[in-house]
Amino acid sequence: MQEILDDEILETEFGITLKSFNTLHELTEDYQSYSEIEDFENHFHVDWFIDPSDNKKAFMLAAKTLTALAIRFQKEKKKGIRFWSYFQTPEMGKRYVIAKNLHEEGDEYLISDRLTFYTRPKEEESVEYENDDPFWARLRIDI
Supply the pTM of this predicted model: 0.82
Does residue 16 belong to any structural domain of this protein? no
Per-residue pLDDT, 115 = 94
pLDDT of residue 62: 94
Q: How high is the pLDDT of residue 100?
A: 96
Residue 24 is assigned to a structural domain of this protein? no
In a domain, 64, yes or no: yes
Q: Give me the pLDDT at residue 10, please.
A: 86
Asked whether residue 66 is assigned to any structural domain, the reply reads yes
Each residue's pLDDT tens digit in the chain (143 positions)? Answer: 788 888 888 888 888 888 888 788 888 878 777 788 888 888 889 998 899 999 999 999 999 999 999 999 999 999 999 999 999 999 999 999 999 999 999 999 999 999 999 988 777 776 666 667 889 898 999 99
- Give the H or E element holding residue 11: strand 9-12
Q: What confidence score (pLDDT) does residue 69 get?
A: 95
Task: Answer whether residue 111 is part of any domain.
Answer: yes
> What are the residues whose beta carbons fall under 8 Å from the beta carbon of 143, sequence distance 6 or more?
70, 73, 74, 78, 79, 80, 81, 83
**Which pLDDT value is given to residue 126?**
67
Domain that holds residue 60: 2-7+32-124+133-142
C-alpha dihedral (55, 17, 28, 43), degrees to nearest 10? 0
Q: Structural domain tally of the chain?
A: 1
On whether residue 12 sits in a domain, the answer given is no
Q: What pLDDT is attached to residue 130?
A: 67
Residue 70 lies in a domain: yes
**Which residue, among 140, 131, 127, has the nearest Cα to 83 in the 3D structure?**
140
Residue 68 lies in a domain: yes
Q: Which residues pair with 112 in a beta bridge?
A: 88
- Contact status, residue 71 vs residue 61, Cβ threshold 8 Å: no
